[in-house]
A and B are shown apart, each in its own frame.
Chain A
Amino acid sequence: MNSDGSREPGGGNRKPFWYLRRRSVKSDVDEELNLHLEMRIDELAASGMTRDEARQEAIRQFGDLEATRRYCRDQDETREKTMQRTLSIQDLGQDLRIGIRSLLRVPLLTLTIIATVGVGIGATAAIFSAVNAAMLRPLPYAHPDRLVRIYTDTPPFKFRFSIADYLAFTEQQTRFERHATYTDRAVSFSNGEIAELLRTRVVSWQFFSVLGINPLLGRDFSETDGRTGSPQVALASHAFFQQRLGGRADAIGRPVRLDGADFTIVGVMPPAAGPLERRYDLFLIQQFTPPTRKGPFFYSVIARLPDGADRNLAATELRTINRALFPIWKSSYQDDKATWSMEDLKTNLIGDVRAISGLALAAVALVWLIACANASNLLIARVTSRRQELAVRAALGATRGRVIRYLLVESGLLAAGAALLAVAIASGGMQLLQTYGATYFPRTGEIRFDAAMAWVMLALAMSSALLFGLVPALNATGGSVDESLRSSRSSTAGVGVRRLRQVLVGAQFAIATPLLIVAGLLLVSLNQLRQVDLGFETEQVLTGSIRLPGAQYQDQARIDAFWEELKRRVAVLPGVSGVAYADGLPPNQPGQHNNFALEGSAPDEPQHVTPWVATSPEYAATLGLRLIEGRLLEERDVDPDNLVAVVVDRAWARRFYPNQSAVGKRFKSGGCTDCPFTTVVGVLSEVKYDGVDQPDQGTVYFPISGGTFRFLIVRSSGDPLSLAPMVRQSVRELEPAAPLSNLATAAGLVDQSLLRPQSLSMLVASFAGVALLLSVIGIYGVMGYYVQQHMKEISIRMALGGSRGDVAKLVVGQGMVVVIGGVIVGTMLAFAATRLMSSLLFGVGATDPIAFTSVAALMVMVALLAVAVPAWRAMRLQPAAVLRNE
């Protein structure tokens, strides 16, 4: 058939392009119908008609020629289209089948790729989920973009308001729609059976209406609730309602006993979603009593702007009001530059998480990239060894596109496997982050698998497939078919492939190096933090906190009696060598920050703010602080009306009286102008109260007196934790309604304060470890391949008298050129990138030369080990045997 095939190729399937197919359908139909007409004309003419008559008759008999043409073409085209579609679906199905089969034939390779890339995708997605929850997702409040935080701005610090500040602010006309303030308080709750410490948030009455949250049951706070003298009311969190109030609606209107006083539950909030109300058991109404002094600064302020409000105007207004209040302000605050300022609530809540999120996300994404490069490398090796198989396919008529598609299907299968694994890993990672992630991310409770996550994972999986599939596919199909078929081990193709693999491995090292450097810097920081002289005894000290139920302990004498008796009882416990009280604890719980005016300073001079800690006289001895000058606080320094005597630390003394003794110096505290002077009576060694990584600002110690909240500090002669049950027992015997909370050794407190830098450095270090491992696997694989490809050359060299040392040098040299190139590029990248994370470092520069060089050296050393194995194998080649087999 197809005798005059010059015009048309045979059957329709091989015609490659749609326009050719289209023309052929049209001409096929025309040709077929023409033939019919001509045969009919021939027949009619044979029966005696003239040719013209015959033509007219044939056309008449045929019927509607044009419509038939159209109909037939249409039918043919439909058929072609469906055939194409089924064909390509069949091809795809075939590719999938073959792909699965050929991947199963190399299970180790398949598993390696699925595992490494799967971990890469999963971990990246998990970290993304945390970043998404923390930074990208809007706050779960009504119109969250209109919520702002208002604070006192004294760069670089942002201070909260005091009651005095807030009341002054409330009296002003502002353009804010509404605003509220809140502060946190731990209260003891007892229902007759159990006494426990609750986390409560004391809020002004508009708190929830600012956020736009309505109670699930009952009512919100009203303006009346907020007035002094109104009955004390509280809103229950959903969890507290379920667990402690039995989840019954009749809980509303019932009293709960907090700190010994009754609060009426007026409503139940919906399950908390946002960072401002999550993790609190109860919300208590704030009733303001006009303050006697301007501090302390414990009140956070939030406000809602009206729709479409001009933020700049609102901010300017805040500054103007602040200036208008200036006279009060100046005497109450420390700094000329201080003003009121506002910032977007989300930005404010996220805080300094940007650097951490960026770092964690970058680190994990780099691991993913390295995993893809590794997979790409492995697949290149595999595809190279399959060159002949692919060449046969091509020779049998598969186009280059078809072969590439087959190879991409294979990588797609691998990526799909990796994605499946990644889903499991990501959900595991999200669980971990929800549980432990709070040390580095805010809003971890909002982590969940949402659409954004699904898209990210899909995108990661697809880019993985392209990343590790496209390069090998293009590479494998690039060479000429003919050549691939002829040479059983094509050394010309080998050079190109080796180059490509070397570049990939070099890239792996270039990516891994910055990661390791970052991890190194973080570990050095952590170590520096651990080296910080904390200034107090950590090993033999037990600490805990006690809150007395306020209603039962209103009488000062009774309070004093409790603390005295408790101290006496704990002191006689076996193994106890000292007992003290304080309202703050190192390393990161200052009692308060307070301002003061030094004697002799001008009235309009800015005041200073430092940590203030109230302590009992035994404090210094119990925590192991050294007295440098003067005397310690004594019982006689306690004066309920005035602050007479304080002890300061050496940093305070050096800061304010650099060249003279601070003992005997006087100041007035808290902006109180008509109080008597307070005298410094002694100087102690420094202790950190604002965090291990903060410089010493100078601490003021003043005598503790009264108060329903205190830290208990117990010095033991043995293991401090073994004292815990006895101390707990002593507290319970004395006052069952006063729970002893937060029991920990001082060393434990320090560890807790280092949790964040520690977990961050561990996270990044483990990513870096994986990156290093993958890179090492990469260089090992490439050099193993190199040796395998060059067995003949190496053998000839050895046969011609080359020493085994030369061979080792050759192989190691080849490998190390790649590694060192990668490490150099990586180091330069790190040099550019690490300054972005300087806020996360402590005691080490972002471009610390020691960290940089030691990481680079480490990578080279490890790579050297990995390259040594193939080099060793090359040295052990038996030239005669290899050459005989060739």
Chain B
Amino acid sequence: MPKNPLPLLQGTLDLLVLRCLSGGTRHGYAIASIVREQTGGDLTVEDAALYQALHRLHRQHLVDAEWGPSENNRRARFYTLTPAGRTRLREETANWRRYARAVDAVLQGA
């Protein structure tokens, strides 16, 4: 594990989870693995927070959930983006980019 992993900014976890699902249907463990791989350990994403986010998004009808067989044929809960979730992902991604650009611009100018 790399040193000093960064704590997650409030509200970004939902965005990450949505993004992970944009590639297709996945169960919770797979999502956790993707987040871990893609951040290269720079971000700490607790599994607890991840599952909470999944159920929260499910309640908000941004993702669908369905039981299905996992790779090793266990019963797993698979999540899929709903059309509403896709829209939300687009909006939030754009927002995040603007945010990052804005912060970056200030940091570069200073």
Secondary structure call for the A interface = helix
CA distance A63 to B13 in the complex (A): 15
Assess whether B47 is in contact with A75, with CB atoms less than 8 Å apart: no
With A28-B77, A63-B46, A78-B59 in contact, do A68 and B51 touch (Cβ < 8 Å)? yes
Quick one: CB contact mask for B72-91 with A, threshold 8 Å, 1 for yes?
Answer: 01111100000000000000
Interface: A310 (CB within 8 A): no
Q: Which residues of A contact B56 (CB under 8 A)?
A: 75
| Stretch from A33-41, A448-456, A532-540 forming part of the interface with B | A33-41
With A62-B46, A72-B51, A78-B59 in contact, do A35 and B74 touch (Cβ < 8 Å)? yes
Assess whether A79 is in contact with B59, with CB atoms less than 8 Å apart: yes
Interface: B11 (CB within 8 A): no
Interface residue range, chain B: 20 to 34
CA distance A8 to B32 in the complex (A): 26
CA distance A76 to B54 in the complex (A): 10
Interface: A810 (CB within 8 A): no
Quick one: CB contact mask for B45-83 with A, threshold 8 Å, 1 for yes?
Answer: 011110110111011010000111110011111000000
Assess whether A72 is in contact with B68, with CB atoms less than 8 Å apart: no
Give chain B nearest CB distance to A540 CB in angstroms. 90
CA distance A424 to B7 in the complex (A): 69
Assess whether A36 is in contact with B69, with CB atoms less than 8 Å apart: no
CA distance A64 to B51 in the complex (A): 11
Quick one: CB contact mask for B8-42 with A, threshold 8 Å, 1 for yes?
Answer: 00000000000000000001110010000000000
Assess whether B46 is in contact with A72, with CB atoms less than 8 Å apart: no
Q: Which residues of B contact A11 (CB under 8 A)?
A: 66
Q: Which of A2, A32, A38, A65 has the most CB of B within 10 A?
A: A32
Contact of A35 among B29, B48, B58 (CB under 8 A): B29
Assess whether B59 is in contact with A63, with CB atoms less than 8 Å apart: no
**Chain A, Cβ-Cβ closest to B77:** A32
Contact of A65 among B28, B48, B69 (CB under 8 A): B48
CA distance A71 to B59 in the complex (A): 11
Task: List A residues 267-319 near B (Cβ within 8 Å).
Answer: none
Assess whether A63 is in contact with B49, with CB atoms less than 8 Å apart: yes
With A1-B69, A62-B47 in contact, do A72 and B52 touch (Cβ < 8 Å)? yes
Contact of B55 among A3, A63, A65, A76 (CB under 8 A): A76
Assess whether A32 is in contact with B76, with CB atoms less than 8 Å apart: yes
**Chain B, Cβ-Cβ closest to A2:** B67
Q: Which residues of B contact A31 (CB under 8 A)?
A: 75, 77
Q: Which residues of A contact B59 (CB under 8 A)?
A: 75-76, 78-79
CA distance A28 to B27 in the complex (A): 13
Give chain A nearest CB distance to B58 CB in angstroms. 6
**Chain A, Cβ-Cβ closest to B54:** A72
CA distance A3 to B52 in the complex (A): 27
Interface: A67 (CB within 8 A): yes
With A31-B75, A76-B58 in contact, do A1 and B29 touch (Cβ < 8 Å)? no
Give chain B nearest CB distance to A246 CB in angstroms. 71
CA distance A3 to B68 in the complex (A): 8
Residues of A within 8 A of B (CB): 1-4, 8, 10-11, 28-29, 31-33, 35-36, 38-40, 61-65, 67-68, 71-72, 75-76, 78-79
Residues of B within 8 A of A (CB): 27-29, 32, 46-49, 51-52, 54-56, 58-59, 61, 66-70, 73-77
10 A-B pairs in the complex with CB atoms less than 8 angstroms apart: A3-B73, A8-B67, A35-B28, A35-B70, A35-B76, A36-B28, A36-B47, A39-B70, A62-B48, A68-B48
Q: Which 9 A-B pairs have the closest CB atoms?
A: A63-B48, A63-B46, A75-B55, A72-B55, A62-B47, A79-B59, A68-B48, A75-B59, A1-B68
